[in-house]
Amino acid sequence: MAHPRSRLNRRSRLNWTLAALLPLGFLAVFFAWPVLAIITLGLREGGISEALTSADTWELVAFTLGQAAAATVVAVITGLPVAFVLARCKIRGLGVLRAAVMVPFVLPTVVVGLAFRAFWPDGGVLPIVLANAFFNVAVVARTVGGLWAHTDRRAEDAARALGASRPRAFLSVVLPALAPAIGSAAAVVFLFCATSFGVVLILGGARYRTLETEIYLRTVELFDLSGAAALSLIQFAAVIAVLLLGALARRRRETALALKGREELARRPTGGEWAVVAAAGAVVLALLTPVVGLIIRSLSTRDGWSLAGYRALATTGERGTLSVSGVEAALNSLRTATDATAIALVVGVFSAFVLIGLKRSGSRVSEALDTALMLPLGVSAVTVGFGYLVTMDALPGDFRTSPLLVPLAQALVVTPLVVRMVLPVLRAVDERLRQAAATLGAGPARVWLEVDLPLVGRSLVAAAGFGFVVALGEFGATSFLARPDAPTLPVVIARLMSRPGALNSQMAYAACALLMVVTIACVLLIERLRVPSSGEF
């Protein structure tokens, strides 16, 4: 009996390994090749050992990792209560709340940086950590909330019935079940914070620098490619080390959770749960502070309140500052974000299935592929961007200036997020369901379609929404590759912010408000989508 089974396993392992070539190919062409090319170019100039042995460099590494770790801790602690409310509570207006927590993600860093400077005029470490956490609370809330919404409540209730206190039940029953999602979210947040650029520049002045800001300065302003290459290598090594640590932490026994529909599990908060709801409320209020600040700025002039900024959005600015109107820019944003999300969903979901398939068939490639997919989050956008310049002309039609490069570059960032959101749920699907389906004669494709897809449908939709929002707010890749005849909203905001004059400034903040409205509307819309039968497990 053992013999045919192992042959079956070997065959499926081969199939999954072949399937892994698609995401790997995408990564190889649009990430590994350009990054290696630009680093090699830098290495050829020499001077690497100087950078590696300088005390300055190691201070830079320590600060980068330290602030990222601190921001991750803050984001996880503040994100958990919000995740609880999103997942478990039946409260009016939850849909809007779910959309609203996404808003920080799309706000241009210069706007957020200026908002934090209003509270900390001299910048410093604390505002850097808080600003980085601010951007990422949503990652924790949504990733953890996605799994939490489907974990069976009965285990927890049983623990409580057996006399466990609420905290005890949370620590010994709920938390272990959520651990994979928390680990996933923390890894993503850490990488985002380690490579955060704009807020460090604005809030750190010239005193606090990170690997990311230094790589940018060396590449872009000083054209010190060898110095940049040395730092990129260190960044690479640090990111891989962190990812491996994360993978190690995740390597717990895969738990088959009894997944349930959210509707079944959500209920009105009772007793002590209200304290958690209150904490979540406080977090959301804190998140909204900079948002309120920017709305006030969009409305205020020297002579009182005015809607002039919003009216100007219908035009191309005071003296035709922009090449398109604010509304057209919003449409451009929607278009590129749609492309990026589509590409990222295809690559991301496919990758998630491949990861599960590889793991189940006992292949060790799974972990490696998982780590590889996360790498683009931890590598400097400027390294990738300059890498494109020296490689993409080899692709047909001089890909360096192709309009498709923007959504592809964005997909690079969105794909790992999709994987991280879908994977924990996918892993938690009870294997027996798949086996039952297979026994009843369903082929592998049918099993996905009938078992996996309905179960992960909800988190798939959430991932799509998330990816869309990330692409909407993405500035690094877009500003690097943007075409002036089709600027997106973040690009338009940056341009308006860089001009003197009251109306330009008002219009910039009005454009931020528009970006927020578009974001909330899109998230609400995407969340309305229901993958057929996803509610029926």
Closest separation between CB of residue 375 and another protein, Å? 20
Contacts of 126 (CB under 8 A, 6+ apart): 120
Give the binding site for another protein (CB under 8 A).
Answer: 22, 110, 113-114, 117-118, 121, 201-202, 204-207, 217, 219-223, 301-302, 316, 319-323, 339, 342-343, 346-347, 350, 386, 389-390, 393, 396-398, 400-404, 407, 479-480, 482-485, 494-495, 497-502, 504-506
3-state percent breakdown (helix, strand, coil) of the chain, nearest 5: 80, 0, 20
Record the tokens describing residue 254, joined without a space: 């895969």
Q: If you write DSSP's letter for every residue of 165-192 in order, what string do you get?
A: -HHHHIIIIIHHHHHHHHHHHHHHHHHH
Closest separation between CB of residue 376 and another protein, Å? 17
Q: Hey, what amino acid is at 520?
A: I
Toward another protein, which CB reaches closer, 166 or 400?
A: 400
Closest separation between CB of residue 320 and another protein, Å? 6
Toward another protein, which CB reaches closer, 4 or 320?
A: 320
Closest separation between CB of residue 12 and another protein, Å? 16
Q: What span, in angstroms and rounded, lies between the C-alpha atoms of 281 and 274?
A: 10
Toward another protein, which CB reaches closer, 254 or 450?
A: 450
Closest separation between CB of residue 523 and another protein, Å? 24
CB atoms < 10 A from the CB of 289, how many?
14
Q: What span, in angstroms and rounded, lies between the C-alpha atoms of 39 and 5?
A: 46
Q: What is the CA radius of gyration of the chain?
A: 24
Closest separation between CB of residue 531 and another protein, Å? 16
Closest separation between CB of residue 336 and another protein, Å? 12
Q: Hey, what amino acid is at 494?
A: A
Closest separation between CB of residue 349 and another protein, Å? 8
> Strand, helix or coil at 266?
coil
Q: What span, in angstroms and rounded, lies between the C-alpha atoms of 505 and 509?
A: 6
What does the DSSP 8-state code read for residue 394? G
Toward another protein, which CB reaches closer, 184 or 351?
A: 351
Q: What span, in angstroms and rounded, lies between the C-alpha atoms of 129 and 116?
A: 11
Toward another protein, which CB reaches closer, 442 or 502?
A: 502
Record the tokens describing residue 462, joined without a space: 């959430």
- To 10 degrees, what angle do helices 453-473 and 502-528 make? 170
- To 10 degrees, what angle do helices 109-119 and 125-148 make? 120
Specify whether the CB–CB gap between 136 and 71 falls below 8 A: yes
Toward another protein, which CB reaches closer, 203 or 425?
A: 203
Closest separation between CB of residue 402 and another protein, Å? 6
